[in-house]
Homo-oligomer: A and B are copies of this chain.
Amino acid sequence: MQQVRLGLVGFGNVGQGLAHILRDYAAAYEQKFGVRFVITAVADMRLGCVYHPQGLDLAALLAKVEKDRTLKGLPDAQPDWDALTLAQQAEMDALAEMSYTDLKTGEPASTYIREALRRGVHVVTSNKGPVALHYGELERLAQENGVQLGVEGTVMSGTPALRLGREILAAAGIRRVEGIFNGTTNFILTKMEEGAPYPEALHEAQALGYAEADPTGDVEGYDAAGKVVILARLLMGVQMGMKDVDREGITHLTPEDIRQAKQDGRRWKLIGTLEWKDDRLYASVRPQPIPISHPLAGVGGATNAIHYTTDLLGEVTLIGPGAGRLATGYALLEDLLAICQLTPG
């Protein structure tokens, strides 16, 4: 039985989702993969920090957080620790970095990731900031220290958009990548097609927890643009900045635009695109009225999708969840299994 010790930074939706999976599937993974995941440390800005080098009681920890919304008061609580202490000092084989996303600086997540990699600790993350801004540097740091950096969760959560392009289609010659990379805007557009005006559709997305109180990051296309930057780096080897993405949001779309498209056999989608044109990689995020017959047209609600156009395999489309606590937690687990080279036995 292989044992993998994990430190968790960030214990919000995603962190708790991963912990739920590791609690509920512990016996299944022992049997199927011959692995036992042991969480030695958890640090969260709001909830506090717990640490035990032999492993924490995951069930007790989750029960405590669900009941009291804090980790303080647990036997292994570490009042003097924070996420940085965890990254620098906790006994662990891998760090699961799930703190908040900052697409301007990548901090503080990038610092946690660097500290862990320097110590020879693998890192898996669902955080777009460090990957969009500093992937090259972080990947080099991982290699120098003989460890790996897993980033599947940064695009389309556990739906393996990155693994499909980086591994399986790596030899097929990827010409073009298009996708629906933001579930909130796709939900709003789906509602608008059903007849709701934009403010009402946005309100429903907010009520369901898809959109934040300030929805700018989603509806103006910044979130999707961050994912396009990550895809450019990971699939095409091109480092772009956010400003290199030709970006347009969905806020100006009117019920009349939606109706007109419907009449023309089309449907508005917020499409992120990467395409080679004359040896230059062109990146955009913008609403487009795509034909109903296009594989992305049928993707409704908060679902995400990626559509690859390749030389050798033609067109390949992957559709799946783009967010959610279990779906994103699962992305980190996928990376951990790949890093530890665990396959069903």
Would A170 and B344 be within 8 Å (CB), given that A314-B320, A320-B317 are in contact? yes
User: Which stretch in A60-68, A117-125, A200-208, A292-300 binds the other chain?
Assistant: A292-300
A21 contacts the other chain (CB 8 A): yes
The CA-CA distance from A295 to B312 in the complex, in Å, is 24
**CB closest chain-B residue, reference A328:** B313
Min CB distance A150 to B, Å, is: 13
Asked if A295 contacts B298 (CB within 8 A), the reply is: yes
Copy number in this complex? 2
What 1/0 flags go to A148-185 for Cβ under 8 Å of B?
00000000011110011011101111000000000000
Size range of the chain A interface in the assembly: 35 or more
Asked if A327 contacts B313 (CB within 8 A), the reply is: yes
Nearest 4 pairs of A and B residues by beta carbon: A316-B320, A298-B298, A317-B319, A160-B168
Residue pairs across A and B with Cβ atoms less than 8 A apart, 30 shown, are A21-B312, A25-B173, A28-B171, A29-B171, A157-B313, A160-B164, A167-B343, A170-B337, A170-B343, A170-B344, A171-B337, A293-B298, A293-B300, A295-B298, A295-B319, A312-B326, A312-B327, A312-B329, A312-B330, A313-B321, A313-B327, A314-B321, A315-B320, A315-B321, A316-B318, A317-B317, A317-B318, A317-B319, A318-B319, A319-B319
